[in-house]
Homo-oligomer: A and B are copies of this chain.
């Protein structure tokens, strides 16, 4: 089989899998596959949620997963070794002060990290330094402002705005998905291309209703209730109506839409 055929087949297969995807992992990561022998930096691995997916999808690639929290590294290492994966090395390291030489990585992978940083452009520049010429960076981020749903609800929209404002107050930017094109260009990456990953959920997709709308998105919004009320962004009754209305979108005739942005670019 020649490479071209294999490539075409893999692409087609990915599209088919994406169309049928019933979990967030399938939607975001089905086509994240690195060649055997390649050195991949996972920047900001956290507790390893993406690390095990990377290790499983590319069993013959070598991953270096870093995080600046020792506690997260410990949890990630535990998760990966319980999974039986041996192709990941963990390092306590900081994206802004990477301890690696220039150009040592074939690929860089960053997922749900830039949204938490006050200086995502600088992060992209630091990561570019350790990437070899011709290597790729893959960036995956959400955009909370991409959320809409049926039935529509001003209270529900307001709870989401609270989440956005609270994340902004901590120096992050949960609207970063729409901003990655200028950021990657300013950081001097080439061949910047996007593959938006819309998560469209209705009651014909019960796995996404549970796994995404309820247990990922609404759970995340509910997590800032105390902060939202304490800082006076919303009154409790209004908040409770908003959350009720978010759950309303998971009913038989409800729909819920959110978009992640998966970017690829070259050094």
Contacts and interface: CB of A to CB of B under 8 A. Distances in A.
A148 interface: yes
A192 interface: yes
B196 A198 contact: yes
A175 B254 CA distance: 14
Copy total for this chain: 2
30 contacts: A11-B12, A12-B12, A12-B15, A143-B148, A145-B148, A146-B148, A148-B178, A149-B178, A150-B175, A150-B178, A150-B182, A152-B175, A152-B178, A178-B255, A178-B257, A179-B255, A181-B202, A181-B203, A181-B204, A181-B253, A181-B255, A182-B252, A182-B253, A194-B200, A194-B202, A196-B198, A196-B257, A198-B198, A198-B259, A257-B259
Interface of A: 8, 11-12, 15, 143, 145-146, 148-150, 152, 175, 178-179, 181-182, 185-186, 192, 194, 196, 198, 200, 202-204, 252-255, 257, 259
